[in-house]
Structure 1
């Protein structure tokens, strides 16, 4: 029997056609007129529509039939047990679904969850390199020179020969290391349990003062769990090499933000490249906005025009695996939080 698959966030019509063609054994339910309006391409939150009683009734009916969902319900996500009694699997649209899954009550693995791990890796790696080059090649200095109309020659540093510590050597961390390796950066990584990481990593090391002090660049690419919340506090920031750079593409809560600002103001770090903050959205009065040597992205580094194509590729593969009774890619473990 064909599983009922409910698309709970917007996809371009041509991608839905590609999904249907790739998984003809599934019954795909896609009602874009009921879904939140995306603010940009690959927006999987969007602005909820004002639906009338009939439209909400239709959505409620679709939820009730769904065995598989692409993304979490936008309407009453916390009521999934009541609204979706036949639900067996949710394919997430982001790599880090732990906090949301826990908040919605997906804590006993009664419903299988899979993440979008790997889908955003290339885009995030590009952001890491862009942010690092911003500081290493002194883009702010070039901007000041242009503003002052000052043709002043000189030299800048380079990424080549630097050492990077990648905290979280998963699919995203590995892509970051692969990209930095191309620029001549030597990378070491950390994992929850020590293991041989292979190339492009030179070694798998324990996260701590020694690893932090040896790195010119620290990239946070770990999931947010009870173990990683507050992972980089004042003690760890103090252990970082003077003049080093910090990149956070994990979650804002992984870093003690007040301590980070203090170390930036003191000049201990030469820059911070942040795709995340805490809280989000960051209030206008938050001191992070005015902290020195910060390049801040509003958690959009992974949002690229081709994201949905990659998501559909993953979902097609996983949906065929589901129908065939094969293991799904990127399974979420509620005990580990990722």
Structure 2
């Protein structure tokens, strides 16, 4: 940095245009400047960033293994910024390898947890309703122009008074639980620590998973990917669910062993699944999940709305104010 600049913030031109004036208002008299990832890479130590703000326009359509060129450039610029002390990400989760890499360097990483909680919860709720009301079968009949009322054995079960397990009680899980409670479901919440939550019939720890699954007809995964949750649902635990149960996953694909899930769906043990996340993204065209008749697939898009960019910006601006005042940042990755 040059002597007259105390703070260098790295972000895309889109983010600077959207939030630059408000960022400058937060920083007030503190000397600062904005740089792009390309400027950092082209100028080296001269433009080394202190703070990085990673926004959706940079991530683009990146999956876990296939990164957009703009995201690769952003990652490289962060690696080249020896003075980087804080990254604010637009994502709710923090399981991408880059976050662990930065934290090992002493960089504080904060997420935008809560920015899209309502949207993701609504998608999860939609998934429960869609599978329960046999929407995949109705859509198939529509494509075939076949009038097939859901009668007899094909009639959907009432969700009222059935039991659902919501795995993960962060902002998303809590909103899912509220929505399921509103339609009369008995909701069991599962998280690392047991606490009383309005709308939940009970709260249990992950250690009680195997005792809970035989009681439920709906499972909604809304938990972060951790050592505890990786492979949480597998051949053994899926088999504990009552026949015809519904699975909705809006968390991370690795929370479920995908090959075991496919087998449970193929043999009819599960009644259906609504999946927004997968072990490998994009989902391979060869995956059996695409053509299973009781499965609905979304391309990791549950949290995408027109208002999400602005919500993420509000979280960054709040954290920037906290950073300026020496306060604890929100959503810091532990």
Structure 1 counterpart of 2:122: 126
Matches within 5 A, 1:256-335: 256-333=257-334
2:181 is the counterpart of 1:198: no
Work out the CA distance in 1 between the residues paired with 2:190 and 2:84. 36
Work out the CA distance in 1 between the residues paired with 2:223 and 2:285. 27
* Offset at residue 157 of structure 1 (A): 3.6
Which string of whole-angstrom CA distances, capped at 9 and with x for unpartnered residues, describes residues 18-68 of structure 1? 44445545666556xx67xxxxxxxxxxxxxxx7xx89525x46751x211
Sort the Cα spacing of 1:12 and 1:158 in 2 relative to 1 into closer, same or farther, 3 A. farther
Structure 2 counterpart of 1:3: 7
Q: What is the number of equivalent residue pairs in this alignment?
A: 309
Sort the Cα spacing of 1:62 and 1:228 in 2 relative to 1 into closer, same or farther, 3 A. farther
Q: CA RMSD of the aligned region, Å?
A: 2.8
The TM-score, its normalising length taken from structure 1, stands at 0.81
Contact 1:19 1:312 in 2 (8 A): no
Please state which structure has a larger fraction of its residues in helix.
2
199-208 or 243-252: bigger deviation:
199-208
Matches within 5 A, 1:168-183: 168-183=168-183
Contact 2:92 2:112 in 1 (8 A): yes
Which runs of structure 1 show a deviation greater than 6 angstroms over 4 or more consecutive aligned residues? none
Structure 2 counterpart of 1:117: 113
Contact 2:246 2:270 in 1 (8 A): yes
Could you list the runs of 5+ residues in structure 2 that have no partner in the other structure? Answer: 56-70
Q: Secondary structure at the match of 1:247?
A: strand
Work out the CA distance in 2 between the residues paired with 1:25 and 1:232. 52
Work out the CA distance in 2 between the residues paired with 1:121 and 1:325. 27
Contact 1:9 1:70 in 2 (8 A): no
Which string of whole-angstrom CA distances, capped at 9 and with x for unpartnered residues, describes residues 194-243 of structure 1? 32142122221133222111111111111112222211110000011211
Structure 2 counterpart of 1:96: 93
Work out the CA distance in 2 between the residues paired with 1:78 and 1:55. 9
Contact 2:243 2:270 in 1 (8 A): yes
